[in-house]
Amino acid sequence: MENTDAPSFKTVPVIDDIPVIDLSKEINNGGIAGLLGEISNACEKWGVFQVINHGVPLELHAKFELVVKEFFKQPSDEKRKLRKDIDAVNPYDYGYEEFAENVKNWKEVFDFPLEKKRPSCNPKKPRDQIHSWPEFPSEFKEACENYGQEMEKLAYRLLELISLSLGLPKHRLNGFFKDHTSMGRLIHCPPCPQPHLALGTHEHADIGALTILFQDDAGGLEAKRTSDGEWFRVKFVPNAYVVNVGDMLEVWSNKKYVSLVHRAKVTSTRERFSVPFFFNPAYYVVMEPIEELTNEDNPAKYKTFTWEEYYVSRKFANLKNPKKVALRLAHFKVEE
């Protein structure tokens, strides 16, 4: 009998793939209005899009991808030496993540910071979620840092386009990122002997503002279209990055843009690699719908909270007590 409970059993309908947006239109004459239309349509109807001609140098990306694959080839014992700063309170250590969700995925991960934007680490709070750097491959740290810088640049560019697409001034959202707490995550899903029983990444929505994700040609990423809740495959597009709406953008936009539900599948025959870059606000940012986007007819749909309380809850809520439930956006919903 077919097991209808497990998401990995579902056949994903093949529907038109998500919008692919050419960012070079921003620079070419007269393209900006069309570009903003494409972005608002993609954010509103799909929750996700891919960008091409994004300005990230192809050689820099190729080098990064090579080094990442080299890194994961190391023996497990070597990789397990790489600990997170919080490991006094983290019983899981290398290779495990999302422990606040009580889910184990078919993957190993390495989390890295932006060198200069590393979240401040208050020893009383287990905040710092990143791994120590390995010695091998020797170019690894530099390649991750260079890639992180490019992601940061692209993230600001997308943030500004998104702000314009909401009818706001270009820099309206930039201030929330002054001391941003963004990070990158390297993901490797080895081939899985029972792929129907596992997911590389479980179904979830990202908690930050925006995620910019690279997946290699093994693919595997799937998402739920905002407009009708249909699952679809996010096809591999050469030299493209996948951009999705996260919880914080949902709050700022007062739900005009909704955080994307997504997951990643694994196969028995191929390993897969992916690298999300999470663009997150500063800890102290007070989250609430942008005032200009609310009015009497469209009152604020969320109450205020800080990014820090949301982040800390989601990352650490049930670390010591598996029954403790992490915060969700629903906790802050204004009753209608």
Ligand X SMILES: O=C(O)CCC(=O)C(=O)O
Class of residue 222 by CB neighbours under 10 A (exposed 0-12, middle 13-18, buried 19+): buried
Q: Does 201 bind ligand X (CB under 6 A)?
A: yes
Near ligand X by CB under 6 A: residue from 264, 287, 312, 327: 264
Task: Output 145 or 206, the one with its CB closest to Fe ion.
Answer: 206
Residue pair 190/73 in contact (Cβ under 8 Å)? The answer is no
| Six-digit token string for 193 | 């002997």
Q: Among 187, 260, 266, 285, which residue sits at the site for ligand X (rule: CB under 6 A)?
A: 187
Query: Quick check: 97 binds Fe ion (CB under 5 A)?
Result: no
The pair of structure tokens assigned to 298 is: 């469209």
Give yes or no for residue 248 binding ligand X (CB under 6 A). no
Of 275, 236, 251, nearest in space to 327 by CA:
251
Q: Does 262 bind ligand X (CB under 6 A)?
A: yes
Smallest distance, Å, CB 221 to ligand X? 5
Nearest distance in Å: CB 321, ligand X: 24
Rounded to a whole number of angstroms, the minimum distance from the CB of residue 291 to ligand X is: 29
For residue 313, the SS3 value is helix
- The pair of three-digit structure tokens given for residue 29, joined into one six-digit string: 């004459």
Of the candidate residues 126, 276, 281, 289, the single one contacting ligand X (CB under 6 A): 276
Q: For residue 208, state whether it binds ligand X (rule: CB under 6 A).
A: no
| Residue 195 makes contact with ligand X by CB under 6 A | no
Q: What gap in Å lies between CA 218 and CA 214, rounded to an integer?
A: 11
289 binds, among Fe ion, ligand X, none (CB under 5 to 8 A by kind): none
Name the binder of 221 from ligand X, Fe ion, none, CB < 5-8 A by kind: ligand X
Q: Is 185 in the site for ligand X (CB under 6 A)?
A: yes
Nearer to Fe ion, 82 or 261 (CB): 261
Inter-helix orientation angle 32-41/140-165, to 10°: 100
For residues 25 and 314, which CB has a smaller minimum distance to ligand X in the complex? Answer: 314
Alpha-carbon distances, residue 250 vs 128, 224, 289 (angstroms): 25, 15, 8
Say if residues 260 and 48 touch (Cβ distance below 8 Å): yes
Q: Which stretch binds ligand X (CB under 6 A): 87-95, 162-170, 176-184, 199-207?
A: 199-207
Considering only residues 189 to 208 of the shown chain, the ones binding Fe ion according to CB under 5 A are 206
Compute the distance between CA of residue 150 and CA of residue 145 in angstroms, rounded to an integer.
9
Q: Tell me the CB-side half-sphere exposure of residue 71, using CA atoms within 13 A.
A: 28
Does residue 215 interact with ligand X by CB under 6 A? yes
Give, as ranges, the residues between 203 and 232 that touch Fe ion (CB under 5 A): 206
Give the chain's largest Cα–Cα span: 59
The answer to whether residue 200 forms part of the interface with ligand X (CB under 6 A) is: yes
Whether residue 207 contacts residue 332, with contact meaning beta carbons closer than 8 Å, is answered with no
Interface residues toward Fe ion, by CB under 5 A? 206
